Chain A
Amino acid sequence: MSRIELRAVAKRWGDVTAVEPTDLVIGDGEFVAILGPSGCGKSTTLFMLAGIYVPSEGEIRFDDAVVNEVEARDRNVGIVFQSYALYPHMTVRDNILFPLRFKSVARDQARARADAAAKLVRIEELLDRKPAQLSGGQQQRVALARALVKEPQLLLLDEPLSNLDASLRMTMRAEIRGLQRKLGVTTILVTHDQIEATTMADRVICMSKGRIEQIGTADDLYHRPDSLFVAGFIGSPPINLLHGIVADGRIALGETSFGLSGTTAGRIVLGIRPEAVRLGAGKLQGRIDDIEPHGREAIYHLATPLGAIRALEPGSNARFRIGDALAFELGTPLVFDETTGRRLDGPTLDL
């Protein structure tokens, strides 16, 4: 268990910058997720923590000791790869025992620890099989047991659930979360799946293009995104983004315009969550282009003078039909400066 700190850590490959100088503190026993699209530098960050990549700049500290130069094998880190990286020629037991071969652990004690780790992830009856004879979920558990058997001070999970089917993913999500709570091991999960990140981690670090966009809880990221990127990346169906131009205290959106106070900036983006759009009442008029019924809720595609808008309403879609004209209103939108991509707190909109 330990406290992890990054101080201005960056990674470059020649001219390509994978991770911009980044500062980050992860508390002892915390479960943190690094979320971002592929190529955002999240896996690079993970591999730097594991000791597989050496940072080009900055310091990585484990409990206040700089570990930049410490080799992967000496860091006492457990890692679960997306591919699980099980050793195909070894049985499950030998896979789990492998990390203990390099530690001074007596043979019978190592065996007892491997059995305990296997029990923790409920694969005791699979110990004598080869990885090829296991299902995806079982392989995942073996990889977890192998990462945990040496009692790492830091557990790294690299897209651990992306090779599982949907229902198994849900079970494993809860299971990994439970395991982490029980063991209290500092854990970093890397994922491109927002649901994985928000449901499992205490804090989510949202990354894009090698830079941390925002660090916060699921609530923070969803309701108070700092940037246009976070607003667009988090949420499914995605947020409505309406591009407008501000002039003379009004904002021009599509074919209409509204009063806007608190800013004089030129280009503005309004972000409205689909569920904040209320259908059937209000001052705005639109027409339903399409309806996607999901059972529990329905998604409506509206054609409006402001532009195309997605709305989400719980319950049945029986109230409306495709082609209906209807009144609607928007909730309080998030306002972003289009050029900087940052959220603006000042402006209020008169819709």
Chain B
Amino acid sequence: MQLAGEIARPAAQDWPRLVARARVRRRAVTIFLYAVLILGSLPIVVPYLWLFTVALSGRTGAGTTVLWLTLAILMPALVAALVLRIAFEDERRRRRFELALAAVTLIALAFVTGPYLHTDNFRFLWITDIANQLKGESGTGSRYPSVWTAFGNSLFIALTQMVLVVSVSTMAGYYLSRFDFAGRAGYLKGLLVLHAFPAMTLIIPIFLLTYWVGLLDTLTGVILVVVALELPFAIFVMKGFFDAVPWDIEMSGMVDGASRRQAFFMLILPQVKVGMLAIGVFAFLRGWEEYVFVRTLLFKNTNWTMSLYLFWMNEDVMGTDYAMVSAIGVFYVLPSVVLYTICQKYLTQMSIGGIKG
């Protein structure tokens, strides 16, 4: 068969040249990818680095000397790592050079920034009436609770919220996934609308509501409000996870002798573990970072959360100790960072499970 036109075919193909070209291309792609990733993450990483360096080295002010010193060492190290990545394709040989580079970088860091470092800014952890010293006992200082009270409150809100959101959204998601009832489609649409609804516009009604039911200035009130706002999204995601579990599994379980409840707990729940974990982490972080509603609904200093503690410590007409504020920030952000790092694998799966809904 003769197709229209003709494609010229080279007389002899120069294989070595093609191999070389493929190699150059592969390296170019690697360089490009790493460059984009590094440039993209710098605006995220540098502010954190600043916070950490100030927390560990600042003396009442938020100096940037240590940040620049650190960056002056880290940036060349990063470039060196990139060069290594491109120069050696053999992973075992590269690993050796990378270890050496890491060691050199760490030693340089210790040598250059070491003299600046101190833990004095974290003294709020063990001097619990730090506010009295800083702001004066007769002034606003006495209003401040211990940081551990705030930490406990934040933990209580985050954990209780997490348990409530996970248990309610799991059961609701299962019911929405498996059972038909009048208004099911409307309910699902309602969930989406509620999820998209700007919660800020509800602050005044929520304030009045909590006041009328007597939950104003209680942790319970805040927890219930945050749970209510968090649930639509959580239910929707959990429904997606349950949708992905075939009906056959529970039918099979029930023929095998399980009751519907046993089938749910023994066969279905293990399949949506990842979803529950993801929802749980999100709910925890949401409760941990909560600021707007605790600021609006809580007044007593024994009810302060970490976010309020940070806010009030930052609030001072006489001049703020930004080094300590940074240290509090580090103390506040660490649990989130650790949790997020451990669980990011599950969090990314959440969107996959959610799409199936």
Which residues of chain A in 8-61 are interfacial with respect to chain B, using CB atoms and an 8 Å cutoff?
A: 47, 50-52
Instruction: Select one of A52, A81, A82, A150 contacting B254, CB under 8 A.
Output: A52
Nearest B-chain residue to A102, judged by Cβ: B257
Which residues of chain B in 251-267 are interfacial with respect to chain A, using CB atoms and an 8 Å cutoff?
A: 251-259, 262, 267
Number of B residues near A (Cβ < 8 Å) is 16
- A/B interface sample: 17 pairs, CB < 8 A: A47-B251, A50-B251, A50-B255, A72-B255, A73-B256, A73-B257, A73-B258, A79-B255, A81-B251, A85-B246, A87-B252, A99-B256, A99-B257, A102-B257, A103-B257, A146-B256, A150-B257
| CA–CA, A278 and B294, complex, Å | 90
Is the C-beta of A264 less than 8 angstroms from some C-beta in chain B?
A: no
| CA–CA, A338 and B230, complex, Å | 63
Minimum C-beta distance from B213 to chain A (A): 42
Q: Is the CB of A77 within 8 A of B246?
A: no
Nearest B-chain residue to A52, judged by Cβ: B251
Which residues of chain B in 73-92 are interfacial with respect to chain A, using CB atoms and an 8 Å cutoff?
A: none
Minimum C-beta distance from B185 to chain A (A): 16
Minimum C-beta distance from A50 to chain B (A): 5
Nearest B-chain residue to A146, judged by Cβ: B256
| CA–CA, A180 and B285, complex, Å | 56
Nearest B-chain residue to A50, judged by Cβ: B255
Which residues of chain A in 139-165 are interfacial with respect to chain B, using CB atoms and an 8 Å cutoff?
A: 146, 150
Which residues of chain B in 162-202 are interfacial with respect to chain A, using CB atoms and an 8 Å cutoff?
A: none
Nearest B-chain residue to A149, judged by Cβ: B256
Which residues of chain A in 70-111 are interfacial with respect to chain B, using CB atoms and an 8 Å cutoff?
A: 71-73, 75, 77-79, 81-85, 87-89, 98-99, 101-103
A101 cross-chain contacts in B, Cβ below 8 A: 257
Which residues of chain B in 275-313 are interfacial with respect to chain A, using CB atoms and an 8 Å cutoff?
A: none
B255 cross-chain contacts in A, Cβ below 8 A: 50-52, 72-73, 75, 77-79
Is the C-beta of B270 less than 8 angstroms from some C-beta in chain A?
A: yes
Instruction: Select one of B246, B258, B270, B271 contacting A83, CB under 8 A.
Output: B246
| CA–CA, A89 and B267, complex, Å | 8
Instruction: Write the residues of chain A forming the contact surface with B, with a CB cutoff of 8 angstroms.
Output: 47, 50-52, 71-73, 75, 77-79, 81-85, 87-89, 98-99, 101-103, 146, 150
Chain B 238-259: CB-based contact to A (< 8 A → 1; otherwise 0): 0000000010110111111111
Nearest B-chain residue to A74, judged by Cβ: B257
- Known contacts A71-B254, A78-B255, A102-B258; can you find 14 more A-B pairs with CB under 8 A? A50-B251, A72-B255, A73-B256, A79-B251, A81-B252, A85-B248, A85-B252, A87-B249, A87-B252, A87-B270, A89-B271, A98-B253, A102-B256, A102-B262
Minimum C-beta distance from B64 to chain A (A): 52
Q: Is the CB of A89 within 8 A of B270?
A: yes
Minimum C-beta distance from B58 to chain A (A): 50
Instruction: Select one of A75, A85, A99, A102 contacting B251, CB under 8 A.
Output: A85
B270 cross-chain contacts in A, Cβ below 8 A: 87-89
B256 cross-chain contacts in A, Cβ below 8 A: 73, 98-99, 102, 146, 150
Most buried by B among A73, A79, A82, A83: A73
Minimum C-beta distance from B234 to chain A (A): 22
| CA–CA, A75 and B257, complex, Å | 9
| CA–CA, A245 and B327, complex, Å | 96
Nearest A-chain residue to B251, judged by Cβ: A52
Nearest B-chain residue to A98, judged by Cβ: B256
A88 cross-chain contacts in B, Cβ below 8 A: 270-271
Minimum C-beta distance from A4 to chain B (A): 15
Minimum C-beta distance from A136 to chain B (A): 15
Nearest A-chain residue to B267, judged by Cβ: A87
Minimum C-beta distance from B219 to chain A (A): 36
Minimum C-beta distance from B268 to chain A (A): 10
A50 cross-chain contacts in B, Cβ below 8 A: 251, 255
| CA–CA, A82 and B247, complex, Å | 12
Q: Is the CB of A85 within 8 A of B249?
A: yes
Q: Is the CB of B271 within 8 A of A81?
A: no
Minimum C-beta distance from A114 to chain B (A): 13
A103 cross-chain contacts in B, Cβ below 8 A: 257
B249 cross-chain contacts in A, Cβ below 8 A: 85, 87
B252 cross-chain contacts in A, Cβ below 8 A: 79, 81, 85, 87
Minimum C-beta distance from A205 to chain B (A): 21
Q: Is the CB of B254 within 8 A of A72?
A: yes
A98 cross-chain contacts in B, Cβ below 8 A: 253, 256
Minimum C-beta distance from B89 to chain A (A): 33
A150 cross-chain contacts in B, Cβ below 8 A: 256-257
| CA–CA, A47 and B254, complex, Å | 12
B258 cross-chain contacts in A, Cβ below 8 A: 73, 102
The 10 closest A-B pairs by CB, nearest first: A102-B257, A85-B248, A85-B252, A99-B256, A89-B270, A73-B257, A81-B248, A72-B254, A79-B255, A72-B255
Minimum C-beta distance from A224 to chain B (A): 36
Nearest B-chain residue to A78, judged by Cβ: B255
A52 cross-chain contacts in B, Cβ below 8 A: 251, 254-255
B259 cross-chain contacts in A, Cβ below 8 A: 73
B262 cross-chain contacts in A, Cβ below 8 A: 102
Minimum C-beta distance from B184 to chain A (A): 15
| CA–CA, A98 and B267, complex, Å | 10
| CA–CA, A50 and B252, complex, Å | 10
| CA–CA, A84 and B251, complex, Å | 11
Minimum C-beta distance from B231 to chain A (A): 27
A83 cross-chain contacts in B, Cβ below 8 A: 246, 248
A71 cross-chain contacts in B, Cβ below 8 A: 254
B267 cross-chain contacts in A, Cβ below 8 A: 87
Most buried by A among B252, B253, B255, B271: B255
Minimum C-beta distance from B196 to chain A (A): 33
| CA–CA, A279 and B253, complex, Å | 56
Minimum C-beta distance from B173 to chain A (A): 18
| CA–CA, A101 and B259, complex, Å | 12
A77 cross-chain contacts in B, Cβ below 8 A: 255
Nearest B-chain residue to A89, judged by Cβ: B270
| CA–CA, A103 and B259, complex, Å | 13
Most buried by A among B246, B249, B256, B271: B256
Nearest B-chain residue to A75, judged by Cβ: B255
B246 cross-chain contacts in A, Cβ below 8 A: 83, 85
| CA–CA, A88 and B246, complex, Å | 11
Nearest A-chain residue to B269, judged by Cβ: A89
Nearest B-chain residue to A101, judged by Cβ: B257
Minimum C-beta distance from A195 to chain B (A): 24
